[in-house]
Structure formats: structure tokens, C-alpha cells
Structure 1
Amino acid sequence: MATDAPLSQKLAQVLAMGKQMVPAELLQQLLSPVEMLRANKAAERALQEGEKVPDFTLPDALGNSVTLTQLLGQGPVVITFYRGSWCPYCNIQLHAYQQVLPQLKELGASLVAISPQTPDQSLSLAEKQALTFAVLSDAGNRVARKFGLVFTIDEAVRAAYRQINADLSAFNGDGSWELPMAGTFLVDRDGTIRLAFVDPDYTRRLEPSIIIASLKKLRNAQSS
């Protein structure tokens, strides 16, 4: 898998491999929440561009508290919600964002990634992926709920998740089987969302190049 390929291309390759390796019936079960969320127009209920984000304080992988307002005091913040370390699409996305982290910092921005998994799971992910940005644990999806991202994996689908070693009760430390839709937000220093990407289809993520272009646009607007 070429390291300089667009994120969408890398994600498509993983999906293609999954279709070859995972039985069709199992894959259909795993994808069924996507259709449910689309039918319910769930993404339309998520926070949108121009809205204010709620402040939050969450623990990082080492247990240190990270507060959004403190980060915004230093510059714009990119907030990305992901499902967990068990999700190959999340791993590819976070790796891609790690690769452009120097460019984000040059543009004055910081990056945080949020999932409902426990700090121990986040630490394992950060170490395995060599992530140098904050990986935060949102127990009970408290923050993701304020962003309008949370949904529940139906009882009928949970066995399929367990077959791919994605027992959410173990990863998240509770029995809710709730996940956030994958979403990425660029938040201005005043707490306003300048870019919002939420897709019920977990195989689709926001390209790093779009984040960088939006940051440049934001910087130019503030300097003019």
C-alpha cells in the first residue's frame, strides 16, 4: 500500500481486501449499521459548520487531562472521532493524520483523536501506531453524544462484531455497545466549527489534504 496514496485509496484497498477475506453474510451484517444510519439521516443531526462546539476535558492515553478550551487558546483544533483500535479504517486514518501532523502544527493547529475505548486501549493504539498527538478516551461517549455522533450496535449485529474480535464491551469497558460515527471537525479559536465531516459509512474518512487546505483558508482569512 503506497504511503503517498490518498487516504480514500488506502481505505478502498482495505475494503476490497475485506470483501475477499470476510464471508459475504458476515460482511453484510457488519455493514448493516451504515444503512440504518443513512436511512435515519443520522449525519444531519451531528454538529455542522458554523455551530459552536461544547467544551470538554478528557484523559489521554497516559491519564493526563486534556481540555479543549486550553488547546483553542493556542490555535485551531482538529478533532477526529474514531471507533476504536479494533477498526482497520480508523488505524489507517490516524496513521495518515500522523503523517501530516507537522503541516498541521506549522499552520498553528493541534490534533486530538477521540474514541470510547478505555485509556489502556488508547495507549496500546498510540504506541503501535507511533502517534504523537493526543488520543483521548471518551468513556460512555459523553463528548461524542454532544457532537451528535452516537449510535448503538443492535443486538443482532453484536455477534458479527465479536467474530472480528471487536467485542465493544471489552474495548470500551461498558455494556452499551455504543459507537460514534466517524467524524472530523476543524474548530476555530473561538470554538466555531469551520469544517465538519461526518459519514455514517465508516469506510470513508476526511482527507488530510482537505484539512490542510481549510487551515490555510482560515489563516488567510484571519490575516487579511
Structure 2
Amino acid sequence: MELQESLSRLKEKIEGGMPPEFVKIMHQATRDLEASGIGDGILKAGDEAPAFSLPNHNGEMVSSEELLQKGPLVITFYRGVWCPYCNTDLAFLKRFKKQFDEMGVNMVSISPQTVANNLKIVEQQRLNFDLLRDTENTTAGQFGLKWEMVDPLKSLYRDTFKIKLDEYNGDDSWTLPVPARFIIGTDGIIKYAEYSVDYTKRPNPDVLIAELEAV
């Protein structure tokens, strides 16, 4: 089964069990984010990738500069352990890790949540790659992905779904990254970029293999 098919089934199940007014708020928030023009500021192929040094799920610092000395780098931005769509995405990416290794490619995922929550999902899914802690989405912002959740979506998450981002992320910014993937060449230049303002839609990870073969 392809990733998007899994996500579509997941969306049908989740939204099918919600009151229509909740679904309306969520869909409107996605439309508003798309209309904001955030996509215009997201880095694209040919741009220089921001350098970063972030703690992984074990609290060990991971540097993009050091990773790029070993080979190309795949970066995926992950919203958090509370997001079933993102967790499904990570599970699919995990399947391609062996191929990445054989190609000499490193992969990391970057999330705003705390190190403890990153460790939680790594252990739950037995992930075979680093999940990095991006405090207040600083690195996500450098890639053009950072956005702030505001009412009524914020109230829906906090008060109804009991998803308190301030607790998950360890800060009160209520910001998230737009889900995205990048391939960075050893020269520090972005070779491939994809993003989806609609978090329920993601391309299958196998597109990364074809792109990496051209790097």
C-alpha cells in the first residue's frame, strides 16, 4: 500500500468519527495556511540549506555539517507524536532507510517536540534514524516551514482534542512545521524539496530514491 492511500484511509477514519463542525475548523485552517502564501517562502531546489546542530532523541548533538561530510542528507520535518499522519509517514520512511544506507545517504527527522517525546516515538516505532529536537521550530523557520496555530484551531486542539502543544514541545509558541522533505547535497545545496501544507497529503518516499540517484 502506498503512503497516500494509507493517509487517505486514516483521514476517512479520523474525520468520519468527528462532529462536522470540528472537521470544518480543521479544513478551514488548512485553506487559510495555503492562502497565506507560506509556500512562497519555503526553500527550494538550488537554495543553500541552513546549517543546524540539534539534539537527537538521546540528547546527543547532531550536526548537518558533519553529516554532509559523509554523503547526501535527507531531512524530513515531523510535527509530533500526537499526529497520526506524521507517525504513518515516519513508518513509511523507515522502510527506505536500508536503501539510503546502501546509497551512502544519511537521514534525519526534525521535530519541535521535546527530546523525551522524540525518544517516545523512536521507541514505539523502532525507528532506525535520528529524530532531532528543534526548539520553537527555529530550524524549520530557516527552511520557511514555521507557522503559528491560532484560534479557533488552537482552541480545538487544546480544549477538545487535549493536544497541548506547549506541553509536547516544551514552549508556548504554538508553532509547527509544514510537513516537508529535502535532499541536501554534500555541497550544502538543496537538490530536491517537497512540502504539503495539507498535512494529510504526502508523496510516497520512493520518489526520494529516484532523486538521490541523480545527486
Deviation, 1:28, is: 1.9
2:116 corresponds to which residue?
Answer: 120
Deviation, 1:152, is: 0.6
Deviation, 1:50, is: 0.6
2:130 corresponds to which residue?
Answer: 134
**Which one-letter code corresponds to 2:78 in the other structure?**
Y
Residues 1:20 and 2:12 aligned together? no
**Which one-letter code corresponds to 2:54 in the other structure?**
L
1:172 corresponds to which residue?
Answer: 169
Deviation, 1:155, is: 2.8
TM-score normalised over the length of structure 2: 0.96
2:203 corresponds to which residue?
Answer: 206
Deviation, 1:165, is: 3.2
TM-score normalised over the length of structure 1: 0.93
Q: How many residues of Structure 1 are paired with residues of Structure 2 in the alignment? A: 214
**Which one-letter code corresponds to 1:153 in the other structure?**
M
Residues 1:94 and 2:63 aligned together? no
Of residues 45, 50, 60 in structure 1, which corresponds to 2:46? 50
Deviation, 1:143, is: 0.4
1:114 and 1:138 in contact (8 A); partners too: yes
Instruction: Kindly provide the CA deviation profile for residues 87-137 of structure 1, in whole angstroms up to 9, marking residues without a partner as x.
Output: 001000000000110011111111100110000010001000110100001
Deviation, 1:32, is: 2.7
1:86 and 1:165 in contact (8 A); partners too: no
1:35 corresponds to which residue?
Answer: 31
Alpha-carbon distance in 2 for matches of 1:111, 1:99: 12
1:222 corresponds to which residue?
Answer: none
Alpha-carbon distance in 2 for matches of 1:49, 1:35: 25
Runs of 4+ in 1 over 2 A off after TM superposition: 30-33, 162-165
Secondary structure of the residue aligned to 1:8 is: helix
Instruction: Kindly provide the CA deviation profile for residues 43-64 of structure 1, in whole angstroms up to 9, marking residues without a partner as x.
Output: 1210011101011000001100
Deviation, 1:21, is: 1.0
1:188 corresponds to which residue?
Answer: 185
Segments of structure 2 that go 5 or more residues without pairing to the other structure are: none
* RMSD of aligned Cα (Å): 1.0
Deviation, 1:30, is: 2.3
2:102 corresponds to which residue?
Answer: 106
Secondary structure of the residue aligned to 1:136 is: strand
Alpha-carbon distance in 1 for matches of 2:197, 2:63: 27
